[in-house]
Structure 1
Amino acid sequence: MNWITNYVRPRINSMLGRREVPENLWIKCPETGEMVFHKDLEENKWVIPASGFHMKMPAKARLIDLFDSEFESLPQPKVAQDPLKFRDSKRYADRLKDSRIKTEQEDTILAGLGFVKGVKLVAVVHEFAFIGGSLGMAAGEAIVKAAERAIAEKCPLVIFPASGGARMQEGILSLMQLPRTTIAVDMLKEAGLPYIVVLTNPTTGGVTASYAMLGDVHIAEPGAEIGFAGKRVIEQTLREQLPEGFQTSEYLLEHGMVDMVVHRHEIPDVMARILRMMMKQPPLDTQKKLPAPALEAVEPA
């Protein structure tokens, strides 16, 4: 036992009234270096007030902020855990356990059914803190089930990807989620229902190669990194210097890969206007004041 560390130092700290301060009370802006109090950042929807830099927003917080009021959380489908018994520097089963403790989620996808500015929709959100928002069997199954629920409810599907791509610990089983989610999007389109993608930072890899680029409308948050391979990999492969701002939302808007770049605060209003037009519903401004709609229980197909 180290008596200085275990006995003397705690006694001195208690005498001087020192208290341990959590490390995450202040958040540093990656763009300007400004320090922002975490409560102020949360109240501003994880957008740095001065610079407007869009930080990663937790999936639970995004769903709560998106919907008008209470919403129905869709259940997380059960799938095989660690089917390949994968291990690198750490067992995959242990990585799953650690991520579930850290995020309080079963996997990277959260989905909910509710109303956004009076428009009923199913929303799917990636949690990047869960193994980089990677697409595995659980995530793929959750997206498919969300699409099926949207079809059953006859309402649009909106997805907020934030991912590094496919989950390598599940190998080919992860890659099979690319065609499965693509088929789910096709099912929505066959039913004549809108599918909107809100691209957040980052959206890369197999997620970009599948459902993230199949939307009827693509909205992107400012400054989001969007692409398949990383900038460094592309430069090493092509042996060329890429343009400034390559793979950002603004660059992709300029080159026709996304339809609009929208500030996080304005996304619910913009989304509702687009969906009202696509669903042939009257504009919100011209409607009379109606009581808030209530969700009805509908059995999934």
Structure 2
Amino acid sequence: MNWITNYVRPRINSIFSRRETPDNLWTKCEECGTMLFHRELSENLNVCSNCDHHMAITPRDRFLALFDGGIFSEVAVPAPVMDPLNFRDQKKYPDRMKAAQKATGEEEAMLVATGEIGRTPIVAAAQDFSFMAGSMGMYVGNAIIAAAQEAVKLRRPLILFSAAGGARMQEGILSLMQMPRTTVAVEMLKEAGLPYIVVLTHPTTGGVTASYAMLGDVHIAEPNALICFAGPRVIEQTIREKLPEGFQRAEYLLDHGMLDRVTNRTKMRDELIGITRMLLGMPPPVAGELPAPEPSGVSEKPAEAEAPDGSDASKA
């Protein structure tokens, strides 16, 4: 035994067999400061297990948890004209779009999909706040119209998850025009007699709350979500008065009649299944993943039909 065997060889083996530890194994809760393991946080739908703080979640991850088996089909959305105003501030608008697409892996700020929840077919749309603050531009308007048209065509209810900082300033008046466009899309659903359910998440602000986000048949919000047209800081500076505690938060709006429910994200799927089936006039959902048990005494093979006189109708 020599120094090569005792020192050099173990050193070389440790270098080549070293495993790199990812930097994103733990996430710190913004509300209580608890360190949360990434796998447990993901399984809890980005809800802090210590203080119940609801962190941001992408539309794709939300749909994986919402739809049966995480199976859904994306609905194609017509692409609008890119940079119609040739807008530029610190960056060009196309450059901001490319940066957002690279950071999120999505084409735009809204995802539309079809699938089943609790064996109930629906159409769903969700905004991505991490994509340019979920701002409402022409694409978002096209997405909501595409979702409404798909719902009418398939005769399915539409469930929309809102999360936006308002209209997209890079598209100017064209962004504000999405407010009446989406209002007409919602009216299409109402004329077809189809339910429209809105889930307001943190934050839902600006022109979104003046259009499609507040036109649902049922309004549900996640806990402590900020829901407003103008933010509390703007209001305080305007009226020069201190606002009440929790002003414009989900619980405050529920107490003042602007919301129907405030539901934890981990219970949202069951809530949506029950409400959707109720609005469609369907029986309550069956608990569990297995189908409802057959009534006792029913054979596996269908009974042969009998004629009114008691004879075998299949031989008639």
Structure 2 counterparts to residues 132-281 of structure 1, below 5 A: 132-281=133-282
SS in 2 for 1:113: strand
> C-alpha offsets along residues 46-66 of structure 1, whole Å, 9 cap, x if unaligned?
001111111011111001111
Partner Cα distance (1:185, 1:72) in 2: 21
Cα distance, 1:104–1:245 mapped onto 2, change above 3 Å: same
**What is the one-letter code of the residue matched to 1:92?**
Y
Partner Cα distance (2:132, 2:22) in 1: 23
> C-alpha offsets along residues 110-162 of structure 1, whole Å, 9 cap, x if unaligned?
01100011111000000111000000001110110110000000010000001
Partner Cα distance (1:24, 1:257) in 2: 38
TM-score (norm 2): 0.84
Per the alignment, residue 67 of structure 1 pairs with: 67
Q: Structure 1: any 5+ residue segments left out of the alignment?
A: 1-13, 291-301
Q: Which has the higher contact order (CA 8 A, sep 6+)?
A: 1
The 8 Å contact of residues 126 and 160 in structure 1, kept in 2 or not, is answered as yes
**What is the one-letter code of the residue matched to 1:260?**
R
Residue 54 of structure 2 corresponds to residue 54 of structure 1 = yes
Per the alignment, residue 97 of structure 1 pairs with: 98
> C-alpha offsets along residues 149-202 of structure 1, whole Å, 9 cap, x if unaligned?
000000100000010010000000000000000000001000000000001000
Partner Cα distance (2:210, 2:293) in 1: 42
**What is the one-letter code of the residue matched to 1:40?**
E
Partner Cα distance (2:106, 2:60) in 1: 9
Partner Cα distance (2:31, 2:104) in 1: 26
Partner Cα distance (1:248, 1:30) in 2: 17
TM-score (norm 1): 0.88
Cα distance, 1:26 vs structure 2: 2.2
Cα distance, 1:18 vs structure 2: 9.4
Residue 289 of structure 2 corresponds to residue 288 of structure 1 = no
Partner Cα distance (1:204, 1:46) in 2: 21
Cα distance, 1:22 vs structure 2: 5.1
> C-alpha offsets along residues 76-126 of structure 1, whole Å, 9 cap, x if unaligned?
321111111100011110000011111111100001100011111000000
Partner Cα distance (1:65, 1:136) in 2: 27
Cα distance, 1:78–1:47 mapped onto 2, change above 3 Å: same
Partner Cα distance (1:97, 1:192) in 2: 39
Cα distance, 1:25 vs structure 2: 3.1
Cα distance, 1:289–1:136 mapped onto 2, change above 3 Å: farther
Cα distance, 1:31–1:153 mapped onto 2, change above 3 Å: same
Alignment length (residue pairs) = 277
| Structure 1, 266-275 or 129-138: larger mean CA deviation | 266-275
SS in 2 for 1:218: strand
Cα distance, 1:241 vs structure 2: 0.3
The 8 Å contact of residues 76 and 106 in structure 1, kept in 2 or not, is answered as no
SS in 1 for 2:204: coil
The 8 Å contact of residues 222 and 263 in structure 1, kept in 2 or not, is answered as yes
SS in 2 for 1:100: helix
Cα distance, 1:224 vs structure 2: 0.6
**What is the one-letter code of the residue matched to 1:116?**
I
Per the alignment, residue 294 of structure 1 pairs with: none
Partner Cα distance (2:239, 2:24) in 1: 40
Q: Structure 2: any 5+ residue segments left out of the alignment?
A: 1-13, 295-316
SS in 1 for 2:182: helix
Partner Cα distance (2:293, 2:144) in 1: 34
Partner Cα distance (1:161, 1:140) in 2: 13
SS in 2 for 1:141: helix
Partner Cα distance (1:118, 1:22) in 2: 38
Partner Cα distance (2:170, 2:24) in 1: 30
**What is the one-letter code of the residue matched to 1:57?**
I
Per the alignment, residue 301 of structure 2 pairs with: none
**What is the one-letter code of the residue matched to 1:162?**
A
Cα distance, 1:276–1:240 mapped onto 2, change above 3 Å: same
Cα distance, 1:237 vs structure 2: 0.5
Cα distance, 1:23–1:216 mapped onto 2, change above 3 Å: same
